Amino acid sequence: MNTTHAEDMPQYRMDDATQDPVAIGKIICLARTYKKHAKEMKSEVPKDPLLFLKPASAVIFDGEAIIIPQKSKCLHHEVELGVVIGKKCKNISKEEVLDYVMGYLLALDITARDIQAEAKKNGWPWGIAKGFDTFAPISDVLLKNKTIDPNNLELSLSVNGTLRQQANTSQMIFSVEEIIAFISSIMTLEAGDLIMTGTPEGVGELATGDKVEAKLGGLTALHVFVK
Ligand code: MG
């Protein structure tokens, strides 16, 4: 019988090699956190954050490949700020949030847009559209420090050298503190959980052979390709 042990769970890569390994927990994703992206998807801006989950098994790292599943004919890129939780918490206030953050990373919320469109039409959940293996490329974790303001970070994404997405996290409808406080009012957050804070406008299709480069300010970059 095969059993899974904690040490087999996928772990974050740290920008500081002296850090102890941290297993990747649940991945909580936000939808429609940038007005212009909601508009390009012909969606309303929500009053409260909209959440969905992605499995940790979807994570890949710098240099690895996004694999187009046979079930989809239309994969989209979504570049997002990721926030990694450092300590267990529940029902925390906005003011307390940053005490529970371990660090930040660049994340791609890869989406099978055709499967998602079908789900939206039928009122079905998005687990399939968002949950295939390789649908969560992430960079190394930048450990939190006083010089990183998560509400003022430049995000960009290029495909084969052409800029597709560029925005600042200051354009989000909700602050990082509001998002995490809200999530903690729903579910317990644990060390290693990852929050993908939603994508700005400019989402677009990926094809076999594409080279994707994402950047988070001048702080870190992520390179993946499409297979
Ligand atoms: Mg997204």
Report in angstroms the alpha-carbon separations of 5 from 2, 8, 23: 10, 5, 11
pLDDT value of position 72: 97
State the pTM of this model. 0.94
pLDDT, mean over the chain: 94
What average pLDDT does this structure show over 55-83?
97
**CA distance linking residue 107 with residue 198, whole number of Å:** 10
Report in angstroms the alpha-carbon separations of 122 from 20, 28, 116, 119: 44, 23, 10, 5
What average pLDDT does this structure show over 63-72?
97
User: What confidence tens digit (pLDDT) does each residue in 166-194 have?
Assistant: 999 999 999 999 999 999 999 999 999 99
Report in angstroms the alpha-carbon separations of 33 from 13, 104, 144, 173: 26, 17, 22, 5
C-alpha 130 to ligand 1 mean position (Å):
9
Distance of CA 97 to the CA centre of its chain: 18
Q: Which of 19-28, 32-41, 151-160 has the lowest mean pLDDT?
A: 32-41
> Per-residue pLDDT for 1 more than 70?
no
CB hemisphere CA count around 221 (13 angstroms): 8
Report in angstroms the alpha-carbon separations of 40 from 96, 108, 117, 190, 201: 34, 18, 13, 33, 7
For the beta carbon of residue 90, count every other beta carbon within 10 angstroms: 11
Binned at pLDDT 50, 70 and 90, residue 55 comes out as very high
pLDDT value of position 223: 98
pLDDT value of position 36: 86
More confident residue, 28 or 41: 28
Percent of the chain with pLDDT over 70: 97
> Per-residue pLDDT for 5 more than 80?
no
C-alpha 111 to ligand 1 mean position (Å):
8
C-alpha 198 to ligand 1 mean position (Å):
4
pLDDT value of position 89: 98
Contact 153, 217 (CB under 8 A): yes
pLDDT value of position 2: 54
Residues around ligand 1, an ion, CB closer than 5 A: 78, 109, 199
C-alpha 3 to ligand 1 mean position (Å):
32
User: What confidence tens digit (pLDDT) does each residue in 84-118 have?
Assistant: 999 999 999 999 999 999 999 999 999 999 999 99
**CA distance linking residue 221 with residue 138, whole number of Å:** 10
Indicate the length of the chain as a whole number: 227
Which positions ≥6 away from 8 have C-beta within 8 Å?
none
C-alpha 126 to ligand 1 mean position (Å):
11
What average pLDDT does this structure show over 196-201?
95
pLDDT value of position 43: 84
What average pLDDT does this structure show over 138-162?
96
Binned at pLDDT 50, 70 and 90, residue 26 comes out as very high
C-alpha 30 to ligand 1 mean position (Å):
6
> Per-residue pLDDT for 7 more than 80?
no
Which positions ≥6 away from 3 have C-beta within 8 Å?
none
C-alpha 92 to ligand 1 mean position (Å):
24
Domains of the chain, earliest start first: 10-81+93-226 (3.90.850.10)
C-alpha 54 to ligand 1 mean position (Å):
10
